[in-house]
Chains A and B, each alone.
Chain A
Amino acid sequence: MILNKKGVGFALPRVYSYLAVFFLLVIFALIFLTPFVIDEKEEKILLLGEISSKENVFVLNAYLNTPVSDSQSVSDLINLWLLDSSNEEELRTVSEEIFSGVYGSCYGLSLDDIELGNVGSDRVCIDYPNFGEMIEICLDISEYDEKLESGGVEECI
């Protein structure tokens, strides 16, 4: 250990002490500025995604409540499919009929391992009870909304 003349404390050359302060300043700048520069877009996307996903939960809710016959709704069809996978075809047909009538080919829907269209990262998911377990029902209509805004929605229909 290098001590100063009186033998008390460190004898650190001045240039090194300036460099040390400058180094600490750089760390300070990195800590404060990096998250704002890198994550600014990401934060915005997260916030918007959170709000728009809540909107689309209403769409999923409408889908589940959609009447298929006088006594059955889509959620009944899902229950039947969970009991017996041979009911998958009917569930697929009904779901396709609903969503292709609204969003053309620009949608994605997944019910556990059943997938219709492309379900991307903008999907909105809800948990659906399956005898003590949960399956995920996910919907992605972001492609339709993007094309609606850009004027290319005809490509979907």
Chain B
Amino acid sequence: MENFLCGVMTLFKKGQVFAEENVNMAVDGVFLVVVLTLIVLIFMTAIDRDIDTLEIEQHTSVYRLFSSPNCFGYSDGDVFVPGVIDLTRFNEVTLNGCFSLPDGKRTGIELKLSYLDGTEIGFYEINKEVVSQKIRCGLENAEHDCLSTRKYVLVSDGGKLKKAILDIMVVNDIE
């Protein structure tokens, strides 16, 4: 240890400026590494974000029911009338075609359409296996998440518009 210190001291005496610059460069190097590491960490923290798309998927499903011409929306001639349900299209075949969920599907939809006085018009489920898991929604550590909503709609029954209620439940697997 003494020999080492003597060596350093000797170096300092003979080439003091050179030795100081070396020490400074070493300190600068360490500082630079620390700064660069922090920059990378900050940047990674900023971009490493979980995007929870579950609720958006659920609302998109509801939106599609109303907006897609492949679903049960009513068209007066060529004009699509939003908010009006064509009763002739409100059936299981149309609804399954409306969503045509791929294999490994994660979304189940339950629809109940009734008149304002409570008389039921129709009750359909898309992807029944997932919908049947709705009883677990809201439970702690549940593997499913549900969105329930009620929409006031009109139904076109033989060209006549009638007041109705559409109860929608969307059940999603949480991966």
User: What is A's interface to B at a CB cutoff of 8 Å?
Assistant: 14, 18, 21, 25, 28-29, 32-33, 36, 40, 44, 47-48, 51-52, 54-63, 65-67, 98-99, 101-103, 141, 144-145, 148-149, 151
Distance from B74 Cβ to chain A, minimum over Cβ atoms (Å): 10
Chain A contacts for B35, CB-based, 8 A: 21, 25
The answer to whether A145 and B42 touch (CB under 8 A), given A51-B60, A65-B154, A101-B116, is no
CA gap between A94 and B38 in the complex, in Å: 64
| Chain A residues touching B, majority SS | helix
Q: Is the CB of B84 within 8 A of A65?
A: yes
Knowing A36-B49, A48-B55, A62-B84, the reply to whether A55 touches B148 (Cβ < 8 A) is no
B: which residues have CB within 8 A of A?
Answer: 24, 27, 31, 35, 38-39, 42-43, 45-46, 49, 52, 55-56, 59-60, 62-63, 66-67, 81-84, 116, 138, 146-154, 160-161, 163, 165
Among A48, A58, A65, max chain B CB count under 10 A is at A58
CB distance from A99 to the nearest CB of B (A): 7
Docked Cα-Cα span, A145 to B38, in Å, equals: 45
Q: How far is the CA of A104 from the CA of B151 in the complex (A)?
A: 13
User: Are B46 and A33 within 8 A (Cβ)?
Assistant: yes
Q: Is the beta-carbon distance between A51 and B59 smaller than 8 angstroms?
A: yes
A141 to B39, CA, bound (A): 46
> CA A99 – CA B163 in complex, angstroms?
11
Residues in A whose Cβ lies below 8 Å from that of B146: 149
Residues on A with C-beta less than 8 A from B153 are: 58-59, 62
CB <8 Å contact, A28 and B42:
yes
Q: What separation, in Å, do the CA atoms of A66 and B113 have in the docked complex? A: 17
Contact assessment for B150 and A103 in the assembled complex, using a CB-CB cutoff below 8 Å:
yes
| B42 and A55 contacting across the interface, CB-CB below 8 Å | no
Which of A52, A63, A98, A103 has the largest count of B CB atoms less than 10 A from its CB?
A: A52
